[in-house]
């Protein structure tokens, strides 16, 4: 039997189907050194299911925007398709967004 597709988080909350639930929801969650863990199981599908159910807009409300931007920058810069000009453009754009994020966080 093939695995169902991984849940695909969207901007707004979306459901997962029962096949995704049964395949990707761990039967048991344990806390090991502060992390969800259970027998070396891959939790990617579980995390994606949670994000799909929550929606990305809602998830963004719970973490400072600057942290999201740091993560985006780190992942995007690892993309081997980016040439030097696009890396520079990405860094300039993210620097502008970080300035906006810092402003918004100061206003809170």
Tens of pLDDT, residues 6-35:
999 999 999 999 999 999 999 888 888 898
**Looking at the structure, do residues 80 and 100 belong to the same domain, yes or no?**
yes
**Looking at the structure, do residues 24 and 43 belong to the same domain, yes or no?**
yes
Provide the phi-psi class of 33: left if phi over 0, else alpha when psi is between -120 and 50, else beta: left
**Looking at the structure, do residues 38 and 89 belong to the same domain, yes or no?**
no
**Looking at the structure, do residues 8 and 25 belong to the same domain, yes or no?**
yes
How many domains does one find in the chain? Answer: 2
**Looking at the structure, do residues 2 and 55 belong to the same domain, yes or no?**
yes
Tell me the pTM.
Answer: 0.82
pLDDT tens string 73-84:
999 999 999 999
């Amino acid at each position: 039997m093939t695995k169902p597709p991984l849940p695909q988080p969207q901007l707004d909350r979306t459901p997962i189907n029962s096949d995704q639930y049964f395949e990707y929801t761990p039967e048991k969650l344990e806390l090991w050194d502060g992390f969800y863990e259970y027998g070396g199981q891959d939790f990617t599908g579980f995390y994606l299911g949670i994000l799909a159910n929550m929606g990305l807009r809602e998830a963004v409300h719970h973490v400072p925007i600057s942290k999201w931007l740091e993560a985006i920058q780190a992942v995007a810069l690892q993309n081997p398709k980016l040439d030097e000009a696009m890396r520079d453009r990405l860094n300039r754009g993210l620097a502008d967004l970080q300035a906006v994020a810092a402003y918004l966080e100061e206003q809170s």
